[in-house]
A and B are shown apart, each in its own frame.
Chain A
């Protein structure tokens, strides 16, 4: 069941929210270093899949299994998953007024260090890294002292998700429509951020509606999700086809 070398392996997963089945028999394997894209109509269950992977309490597992790094994912709490390297970029990032972006990132980073038995990061090293990453994605310093996402524009919130991702260096980054709401330049800088992280030990699951981001980060696989199932998988050219023809031709067959 657990394929050798795979980072993540989802088998026949069924998930419900509020007693309604949303993910309905989904199979997906992501190997180390791979980039997968998931596309699909509104309401098909893309965010639900992402939230299930992150451990959102709303998502109730009905059946199936997920193994991550050879472990049963369902045995891990939300924070354990994060500290084991799962990162979800939220489709709708949450605002936390009163908590500065910097303090938030530091708490997250130190939580990860603690879980690995490492010492806390020094203030100097932390700020250096934060400053560097903020520069890569073109985020102004002022945003670092503001409340987490407080009053950020849609695009600014998405950039902030990328900043968090870059600081936490996850093994598996699940980005839920992080490209939506970004202007053309921001799309490029965000893609820079992602590409700077592409390594053998980091994998991506990109949820998107457009092939634009995929032009910057070429996915190894593109999947189409419909009614909680993957109904088609292909290489990066599938994304272009979908952009042209929409989903109807797939859903009908």
Chain B
């Protein structure tokens, strides 16, 4: 029975801790109210455990402990707004940094980007944040809401095609709890490119929440690199909604953390929406990466394609949980889900579980998962051309990752990922 007690442990947030989450400091009434409601709800929820199917392979306890510990400490990063690495915007690149609990930048932001701290118009934030919480209210989303101190919103205009890359760099060099919140609203027939880059150099806990809404005919080109320190914890939840004819293209690379967990929920809610997810994860040493994807086909003629590749070294561990749901009304659905893993050591582990849940017959769905070590035939082929064994192994590891990177169409982002590859897998 003791086990059940553990399973039912509730978030223990007693009153004395409240001011530590900055609640007292907030002078915006609606936000204070929102946080209070969130807190009340959070207190009734249980902390997930390994008994929950969704958390079976990831022990979340140390993360939660650390999360509260750090939130209470409320330490401030040494990164200052005027640090020289903070780049100035150019026509093609907008740089926004998240440090010390808020978004900062050099120069003026274009009108389609706003932050909660600097925006005159709070109305839209209020609406979207409330809407959001109603919809998801998972413990970690609630934690984000409770602890957030700033929000970044990107909201395009109808027909606005933005040919710039929005770099969102979440960085820290001290031990702290970070709760970035990002809202993306793509209005009809608009397009944009976003590059989210997590760069921490100490044991941080990051609990980020991103909410994306793509209206009719819009296109989002979305890139993500998670490059964190061994002692860090990374949690990210993205909720994405795609309307008619809209298109999401996502490339991500997660090189792992003490625990790194990426949840992506995508709802294809209207006809002809499509999503293309390509991801690499490459934990080393004792790092852990957990990918959880839920793709819901809720309308006809939508397409989803997932290609996830793990490269696991040393005693690292990985999880791939991919779920594609096809509703009864989602006729003419096309979906393909792949997970391939390269296990580079006898001690590396991967748990992979692709799931298809299909409620109509007019679908073309496929899924596959393979895990193994480097292919001996390929190795021999390279060696037989004079390439030394260790070089040949590195070439094969890199070529495995390159297959994903080669799919990137934007040349600047392709280069960024290629450079990251050289840095990570040399």
**A contact set with B: CB distance below 8 Å:** 54-57, 77-79, 81-83, 87-88, 90, 93-94, 96-99, 104, 107-108, 111-112, 115, 147, 164, 168
- How far apart are B344's CB and chain A's nearest CB, in angstroms? 16
Closest chain A residue, CB of each to CB of B406: A98
Q: Is the CB of B380 within 8 A of A57?
A: yes
Residues of B within 8 A of A57 (CB): 376, 380
Contact of A82 among B386, B396, B402 (CB under 8 A): B386
Q: Is the CB of B391 within 8 A of A90?
A: no
- How far apart are B395's CB and chain A's nearest CB, in angstroms? 6
- How far apart are B342's CB and chain A's nearest CB, in angstroms? 12
6 interchain pairs, CB-CB under 8 A: A78-B384, A94-B378, A96-B396, A99-B399, A111-B388, A112-B386
Q: Is the CB of B381 within 8 A of A98?
A: no
Q: Is the CB of A79 within 8 A of B386?
A: yes
- How far apart are A149's CB and chain B's nearest CB, in angstroms? 9
**B contact set with A: CB distance below 8 Å:** 376-378, 380-389, 391-392, 395-396, 398-403, 406
How distant is the Cα of A200 from the Cα of B95 in the complex, in angstroms?
A: 63
Q: Is the CB of B380 within 8 A of A107?
A: no
How distant is the Cα of A147 from the Cα of B382 in the complex, in angstroms?
A: 13
Q: Is the CB of B402 within 8 A of A99?
A: yes
- How far apart are A81's CB and chain B's nearest CB, in angstroms? 8
Q: Is the CB of A94 within 8 A of B387?
A: no
Q: Count of A-B contacts with CB under 8 A? A: 78
How distant is the Cα of A104 from the Cα of B398 in the complex, in angstroms?
A: 12
Q: Is the CB of B391 within 8 A of A111?
A: yes
Q: Is the CB of B403 within 8 A of A97?
A: yes
Given A79-B392, A98-B406, A111-B388, 14 new contacts (CB under 8 A): A77-B389, A78-B380, A79-B383, A81-B384, A87-B384, A93-B381, A94-B380, A96-B382, A98-B399, A98-B400, A104-B382, A108-B382, A147-B399, A168-B385
Q: Is the CB of A98 within 8 A of B398?
A: yes
Residues of B within 8 A of A96 (CB): 378, 381-382, 396, 399
- Enumerate the 10 nearest inter-chain pairs by beta-carbon distance, A residue then B residue, closest first: A98-B399, A82-B386, A98-B403, A99-B399, A108-B385, A98-B402, A78-B383, A94-B381, A111-B386, A83-B386
Q: Is the CB of A82 within 8 A of B383?
A: yes
Q: Is the CB of A168 within 8 A of B386?
A: yes
How distant is the Cα of A190 from the Cα of B384 in the complex, in angstroms?
A: 21
How distant is the Cα of A97 from the Cα of B380 in the complex, in angstroms?
A: 15
Q: Is the CB of A107 within 8 A of B403?
A: no
Knowing A107-B391, A111-B388, A111-B391, the reply to whether A97 touches B399 (Cβ < 8 A) is yes
Residues of B within 8 A of A82 (CB): 383-386
- How far apart are B370's CB and chain A's nearest CB, in angstroms? 14
Residues of B within 8 A of A56 (CB): 380
Knowing A107-B391, A107-B395, the reply to whether A98 touches B386 (Cβ < 8 A) is no
Residues of A within 8 A of B395 (CB): 99, 104, 107
Q: Is the CB of A107 within 8 A of B387?
A: yes
Closest chain A residue, CB of each to CB of B376: A57
Residues of A within 8 A of B376 (CB): 57
Residues of B within 8 A of A97 (CB): 399, 403
Knowing A99-B399, A99-B402, the reply to whether A115 touches B386 (Cβ < 8 A) is yes
Knowing A98-B398, A98-B402, A99-B399, the reply to whether A111 touches B385 (Cβ < 8 A) is yes
- How far apart are A236's CB and chain B's nearest CB, in angstroms? 28
How distant is the Cα of A96 from the Cα of B403 in the complex, in angstroms?
A: 10
How distant is the Cα of A93 from the Cα of B395 in the complex, in angstroms?
A: 17
Closest chain A residue, CB of each to CB of B405: A98
Closest chain A residue, CB of each to CB of B389: A79
Closest chain B residue, CB of each to CB of A165: B385
How distant is the Cα of A4 from the Cα of B51 in the complex, in angstroms?
A: 74
How distant is the Cα of A81 from the Cα of B383 in the complex, in angstroms?
A: 9
Residues of A within 8 A of B382 (CB): 96, 104, 107-108
Closest chain A residue, CB of each to CB of B397: A98
How distant is the Cα of A88 from the Cα of B392 in the complex, in angstroms?
A: 17
- How far apart are B298's CB and chain A's nearest CB, in angstroms? 34
How distant is the Cα of A93 from the Cα of B403 in the complex, in angstroms?
A: 19
Residues of A within 8 A of B392 (CB): 79
Residues of A within 8 A of B403 (CB): 97-98, 147
How distant is the Cα of A174 from the Cα of B190 in the complex, in angstroms?
A: 58
- How far apart are A100's CB and chain B's nearest CB, in angstroms? 9
Contact of A88 among B377, B384, B389 (CB under 8 A): B384
How distant is the Cα of A111 from the Cα of B392 in the complex, in angstroms?
A: 11
How distant is the Cα of A147 from the Cα of B395 in the complex, in angstroms?
A: 12
Knowing A79-B388, A107-B391, the reply to whether A98 touches B383 (Cβ < 8 A) is no
Q: Is the CB of A54 within 8 A of B384?
A: yes
- How far apart are B209's CB and chain A's nearest CB, in angstroms? 33
How distant is the Cα of A122 from the Cα of B400 in the complex, in angstroms?
A: 27
How distant is the Cα of A57 from the Cα of B401 in the complex, in angstroms?
A: 27
Residues of B within 8 A of A78 (CB): 380, 383-384, 389
How distant is the Cα of A97 from the Cα of B402 in the complex, in angstroms?
A: 9
How distant is the Cα of A98 from the Cα of B385 in the complex, in angstroms?
A: 17
Closest chain B residue, CB of each to CB of A85: B386
Residues of A within 8 A of B380 (CB): 56-57, 78, 94
How distant is the Cα of A239 from the Cα of B391 in the complex, in angstroms?
A: 41
Contact of B386 among A90, A93, A108, A147 (CB under 8 A): A108
